[in-house]
Amino acid sequence: MSVLFKIWLLSILCLFQDNGGKTTLLKQLASEDISHITSTQGFNIKSVQSQGFKLNVWDIGGQRKIRPYWRNYFKNTDMLVNLCHSADRKRFEETGQGLAELLDEEKLSDVPVLIFANKQDLLTAAPASEIAEGLNLHTIRDRMWQIQSCSALTGEGVQDGMNWVCKNVTAKKKQ
């Protein structure tokens, strides 16, 4: 007797803020050592299995000089993941503006967005509600979105966010 399993392939684009923790998150998802992380100077990609999905996660560097190249990765994106440094309040407005620009991209229309309010392990971290307000998330009306408190360093909240990704991409693909 043979059993067939349906494995869904998802392309996840992990963008924005340099020093937001994108590479740490990616290594955490892949169960890799996170003791030596360096700033991404291009891109990293990891494939991880989760809940019957093969997730191809693209971690694209957040430095301003790299941002013009982001659009090369938009095609066939199933989910946009944005990591926000929760203790860097002075960058919330910049991050919100950048997110709004991304959401205006035609190739990303209807792509759901997960915002990880990262670095919640820091004493100075803003709560997810403050970050949502700072990023103007309440103005997003054309797609599903979620903000998830997490610490990519400790792993807390990461799986909750990925559960949301799998649940909502499944719902979107069934439409």
Structural domains in the chain? 8-174 (3.40.50.300)
Predicted TM-score (pTM) of this structure: 0.85
CA distance 135 to 85: 12
Nearest of 112, 110, 103, 79 to residue 10 by alpha carbon: 79
Residue 82 assigned ligand-binding role:
no
pLDDT tens readout for residues 125-170: 999 999 999 999 999 999 999 999 999 999 999 999 989 998 887 6
Give the Å distances, CA to CA, from 7 to 48, 57, 69.
Answer: 12, 16, 30
CA distance 22 to 81: 9
Q: Which of 41, 49, 51, 63 is catalytic?
A: 63
pLDDT tens readout for residues 83-130: 899 999 999 998 899 899 889 999 999 899 999 999 999 999 999 999
Residue 54 assigned ligand-binding role:
no
> Residue 162 corresponds to which tokens in the numbers above?
């990925």
- Residue 49 annotated to the active site: no
Residue 170 assigned ligand-binding role:
no
